[in-house]
Copies of this chain bind each other. A is one copy, B any other.
Amino acid sequence: MTTAEEIEQLCRRAAAASHALAKVSSRRKNIILQAMADQLNLDRERIQTANQLDLKAGKEAGLSAAMLDRLELTDARIDGMMDGLVQLQSLRDPVGKEIKHWTRPNGLLIRKLRVPIGVVAIIYESRPNVTADAAGLCFKTSNAVILRGGKEAAHSNRAIAESLKTGGMKKNMPEYAVQLVQTLDRDGVRELVQQDEYVDLVIPRGGEGLIRAVVDLSHVPVIKHYKGVCHTYVDVSADLGMAVDISENAKCQRPGVCNAMETLLVHQDVAERFLPRVTERLLARGVELRGDDGARKLVPEMGKALEDDWHEEYLDLILAVRVVPDIDAAIAHINTYGSKHSDAIVATDPAALKKFSGEVDAATVYMNASTRFTDGGEFGMGAEIGVSTDKLHARGPMGLEELTTYKYVIAGDGQIR
């Protein structure tokens, strides 16, 4: 499965399946999702046997312990995939929902309705459970999905995809609704993401290198998650106890994720009171601190922050710290170095809150809360296909609605121009 014609055929089949999917009722979709979950359970052993092959190859290839851990399909992880497919059933199907309607003076009734995007290609790395999660989300929204997983999880991905297809087909899922192409090399991926006649959206999930490569090659719109360089700004009007708690949480609760804080900005008029308090807490949690001159004067234990530090997504227990003269400087810093992901202000002054939330250019701006809440689950979306750092179509956590587009359905009684 690597020739250009084979890839085109695959995409054409996905497009045909997407039209068939547009006709499947919400009730039927839920029955199929349940059948997928049941089949994963029936195929548990087969999936784990396949997974052993990947783990063995991974060990031989010298993958890190962390990578091997992400690759492993324990019973709990298979249960997790099943749970995901079950939970999707209770979420409201956005397809067909009316967004708005209005009537024109000539009598035309214009309705704007949610519809599936069509064909979604997902290009991902390492964790094989993405195969089931992404397939479920796309299926629930009546999108046909083409999955291209990482080489290191090839056997696992194939076993999961086969199981989903077997389960779905038992309940009459359109045959090419879920397709896995596991063997595409770089040329094959280029071919896939240039099929703009059939593929409507590409979502790459993985490191920045993978995402840049997909963007460079693609003729199809891409929704990207580059990185999260998240900031917390402590205003002169802040409740400093709250600021310490929020800073600790944003940095330490799970430092390896995209919504963790990477840079702390502190108003100069509270720096002397705030910085020793917060750094004591952070140092006790093992955080390495890198400050500008203003911060280092107050906290001598701090290393020196270089220009690169302001750009850095550490994903680790490291924090850059900067003392700023005022809120404008904090906003300018964030709009210069930030990744438009999640940024927070801690303040009590309503003018400061309004200014910061209005002027910071980010998908999510927090007032007196931790940046760690940028997440489909925490937003109450129930499930997410990822977090977008783009501005077009979808921004921030992407749930079911973000996997839809709209169309206008216009009713007349013979109107002409």
Contact = CB atoms under 8 A, between A and B. Distances in A.
Contacts of A373: 108, 410, 415, 417
A178 interface: no
Nearest to A226: B196
Interface in A197-239: 200-201, 215-216, 219, 221-223, 239
Contact of A369 (B18, B362, B416): B416
A27 interface: no
Q: 3 shortest A-B CB distances, which residue pairs?
A: A369-B412, A249-B416, A393-B393
B390 A407 contact: no
**Chain A facing B: main interface SS:** mixed
A26 to B, nearest CB: 13
A312 interface: no
A203 to B, nearest CB: 11
A412 B358 contact: no
Given A391-B405, A405-B395, A253 B416 contact: yes
A407 B359 CA distance: 11
A19 interface: yes
Contacts of A201: 391-392
Contacts of A380: 102, 104, 110
A67 B200 CA distance: 34
Contacts of A254: 417
12 contacts: A18-B361, A19-B359, A104-B380, A117-B392, A118-B391, A216-B219, A239-B414, A364-B407, A368-B411, A369-B416, A372-B417, A373-B410
Contacts of A411: 353, 367-369
* Tally of this chain's copies: 2
Given A359-B23, A405-B395, A368 B412 contact: yes
Nearest to A20: B359
Given A221-B221, A365-B408, A242 B417 contact: no
Given A358-B23, A363-B408, A370 B221 contact: no
A128 interface: no
Contacts of A215: 196, 219
Interface string A387-403: 00011110110000000
A385 to B, nearest CB: 14
Contact of A416 (B102, B245, B390, B410): B245
